Structure 1
Amino acid sequence: MLGLHDRLSRLPTELLDMIFDAAWAEQRPPGPLNRVLCPFYDRIAWRSIRIDLPARLAQFFEFRLVLASLIGVLRRTSTLKKLALDARFVLNIFLSQMEPTYALPAHLRTLVLTCATDNQKDPYRAAETPTGVVKSHYLLHSWPGVDDLEVVLWQQTHSRVLQFITSFPILRRLQLSTKSPVPDFAGALAALQNSNSLHELVFVGKPKKGWTLPDELEQLADLRSLKLVGEWHRLAPSDIDRICDLPLRRFELGLDSELCLQSFYEALQRGKLPDLQILHLDNLSCRVGHKLTEHELRFSWERQLGQVEECMNTWHRADWTDNFSLETFRALSDMCRDREIKIAGTLARALFVEQEVDSLQADIDLLKRLIRSRGSGLYHGINKGRLYADNFDYFGAAGDYKYTDD
């Protein structure tokens, strides 16, 4: 006698779609009923897919034999919104399909590609480089639904990444990442079908000294946000000026990133980035610690000193660098306040932390001076080293030190 799962698998696909849609309308399915019915589980349960190794891809197909191809997998994932692919292995699957119309689901919104590119000139066509050249013997389909594209560029072998970028005509966000000291961002920007649709651009890299930003940046007439992640402190002041010539409303530095803040500050001093509204800085971090109140402090100076020192250890200053100094950041903050530019990110409270730590250090220095003053006169000798928590006459005469929040 056939089991329930086997009887279900014999039903028409259209009827099974209706059954599983009704059964899992209000909750996520716990798992596939069996291997044959696995596609119906995939269609409802999967929202993010990452394929980056041939072995993983083979295993992927092994348990989904009924689908027979990657196209079938993606067509049946109706809730899939984000797809990550290592294009060194699987990008060609999309480009070589007989029906590229179905290679990506129409409802996909974010695509992450790890690709391979090559900056070397063709020895047979020395005047040409792969940068900006889009050629393919495949008929590439257009996916207007994908508006967020992340591409990781490698420098080992040639790739069809440039021609693949042309398949997304209405990109709102583009992230380009590379480990090469000479990033090939120009080709990807040149491959954009509609540069005016791009509102957010992210560069991830660490270009060497002498590398310049691509001229294609000037074509991004409606770019609203630019984020730099990595080591960008080697950019020439002229490149900083080119960044500040963009119509940006938001400029962002990512975690553990570097930029020559002085060049950026001088560009803003000259009135550049007139539409800038948010300066988001996550490149350095600081920490707001505990703030003592008067009733928390012990009466004696020795005990107050210990408490203030313990309190100061809960505060962490930002680790300022030569390229991103405290003095320049102070000046930049004053300018942003005058221009009504909001500073956000981990550095938003950096100056507040500096002020509080300086105040705590001043209190510590004062307490140490007061304690040392007891080393002469009436309190020298037999009284040396005792705690004066109960000596009201002394504090009344000398003037009690009180720590305040001012």
Structure 2
Amino acid sequence: MNIHEYQAKQLFESHGVPVPGGGAATTEREARELIKEHGPDVVIKAQVHAGGRGKGRIVKRDRTTRIYNDLTADPERYEGQITGRRRGGVRLAGGTEEALKEFRPMMEQDARLVSIQTGVDGVPISAVLIEQQTSIAKEYYFSIQVDGANGQPLIVASAEGGQSIEEVNRTNPRAVLRVPVDPVEGFPAFRGRSLASRLGLPSSAVRPAGEMFANLYRVFMDMDASLVEVNPFVLTSEGTVVAIDGKVGLDDNASFRHGGYEEWRDRSQENPTEIEAEEANIGSYIKLDGDIGCVVNGAGLAMATMDTLKLHGGEPANFLDIGTVNRKDRVIEALRIIVNDPDVKTIFINIFGGLARVDIVAEGVVDAVKELNIQQPLVVRLNGSNVEEGRRVLHDSGIAVQTADELGDAAELAVNAAASGKRRTRSKG
């Protein structure tokens, strides 16, 4: 689960990590107070769960218009479709009036930020972080993430901060330092000082940087985080170190230890269908950009299903692992989520019965088609436990369904059905 930058900095500050003075505002009154306290020169940052804010665009979209192309690449192409367009979700301002001029478009009703990471429709802006500007001498990169292969935290750092660490690793891999951390030993300040020296920080900044690294590791452990990233932290002109950016990802699997992370969660940044799927407890659901709705049991099979669809020229509308299915109502709820997605042109059900019973899945499919009045073409591939009974249930039901025994054949049927749906939609237009 992602949290906002202002929330990440609250965590940093509570753990002794130096951050610029500032806070989040949602109203002009709050903005004025923050500018008065931390100005006159401030940074204005739109708060969304996405990167690329600086190169993105603030847009105010007509409620009847959907955006299907990259606004950042060719913004003038959409003249007349969008109002209130402004470049950038990160702005510098000097003085109250200039700062408010940058603040207002971000907090207008229906304002959204479109960046390379948001998709074409962008995401709503939840708040605006207003903080004092920092005099920067040099930028650095620091992160802590989970090294799944070795089962331990991994610190990644570089003296080339303020840019994509993936790009730095591609162009200059020797500039990227990797430090495995024994979770029993932890990451004490003396190890942080060693890392600071390796990054080339001046001697006067080595001790405070080492303490900052150790405190960021405490954030990572205390919050059961999956990622703590500061890009960049900076050496200021005064010789101090400050985390001027911050990103924290929280591990959903540990949410039970933190009250579900509810105080940190912002549902406005989440896909409504994903929230609906979570509340229905149908399994792991992630919305994608395609038009073939997928209902699959098992994460590995779900990924293989999506790969096979793409191999045949199709695009999955979602990832859905419904897990072990031995109840019809679970199948019905899963299909309810899929059917309610307006992007779905075809539904592809791919079930392998190990612990799951294929006949119960088939009964759930039949009941769902009748109960939900499913109109989209339906492709079903069943295999495993009680498969013959499951196929008989589908055959005897009288519902319109295409079946196949092999994954490739079933995927091809689904792709063709989706393509036919697109052609029908265009001809109606």
Structures share a fold, TM > 0.5?
no
**Which structure would you say has the larger RCO, counting Cα contacts within 8 Å and 6 or more residues apart?**
2
Q: Taking structure 1 as the reference length, what is the TM-score of the superposition?
A: 0.30
Structure with higher strand content: 2
Report which of the two structures shows the higher radius of gyration computed on alpha carbons: 1
Q: Taking structure 2 as the reference length, what is the TM-score of the superposition?
A: 0.28
